[in-house]
Structure 1
């Protein structure tokens, strides 16, 4: 059951990324994964509360985060992962998660989300989850976005 919860996040990510970046993303396979978050990534974490408790985490390299933030700004090229670019990727994760939870709610499972938290490098707090599912979304021009579902 828990592994299936990640599917609406993947579908929502494809829709939102296509709308915000005008690029098509190709999902990889959903796999059971370790709950750790790589310290060489930018992670945007959103808590899930309700009938399923846990977190969804969106991981990308800093260069991919800048490319996505730049695309979201209409092609205005951002040169540093600063407050503006962090805000852009946080909003992207928020949009993906909100859409995914709406899809999940249509099947009768209620989940609320919290505001996104951007964590980078030494700021990354490792989750206490024991169970995680992950799926990469790949776009050759921009890179890879990893989605991890961390079940409490």
Structure 2
């Protein structure tokens, strides 16, 4: 059952990213995964509360995060992954998660989300969850967005 909960996050990510960027999207396959988060990625973590307890984590390379943030800001050229670009990708994860929780609610599940936390490099805190499901979403020339559902 928990593996199916990640599907609305994938579908929502496809919808939101299609609105924000003009790149072709190719979803991967949902699979069980190690709960660890790669330190070379930027991770946006959102806590899940309610019928499911855990976190959803969105991982992407810093260069990809800057390109997505740039697209979200109307093509404004970014030279570094600063507070403004962190805020943009955090809002992206928030929009994806909010839409996914609406889909889950329509299927009878009640899940609330917390504000997103952006973590990367040395500030990255590894999750305590033991169970993880992951699905990659390829954004053609931008790279791969990894979505991980970390269940308590």
Structure 1 length normalisation: TM-score? 0.98
Q: Is the 8 A contact 1:46 1:115 kept in 2?
A: yes
Please give the residue correspondences for 1:97-136 in structure 2 after superposition, counting only pairs within 5 Å: 97-136=97-136
Structure 1 residues 5-84: aligned runs within 5 Å: 5-84=5-84
Structure 1 residues 81-128: Cα deviation after superposition (integer angstroms, max 9, x where no partner): 000000000000000000000000000000000000000101000000
Check the 8 A contact 1:101/1:112 in 2, yes or no: yes
Structural RMSD (CA): 0.6
SS of the equivalent of 2:90 reads: helix
Does structure 1 retain, via aligned residues, the 8 Å contact 2:44–2:93? yes
Q: Is the 8 A contact 1:57 1:150 kept in 2?
A: yes
C-alpha deviation, 1:51, in angstroms: 0.5
Q: C-alpha separation between the residues in 2 aligned to 1:50 and 1:22?
A: 34
- Structure 2 contact 133–150 (Cα < 8 Å) conserved: yes
Aligned length: 152
Helix, strand or coil at the partner of 2:11: helix
How far does residue 139 in structure 1 lie from its aligned partner after superposition?
1.6
Post-superposition offset of 1:140: 2.1
Measured after TM superposition, the shift of residue 73 of structure 1 is 0.9
Unaligned 5+ segments in structure 2 are: none
Q: How far 1:22 sits from its partner (Å)?
A: 2.6
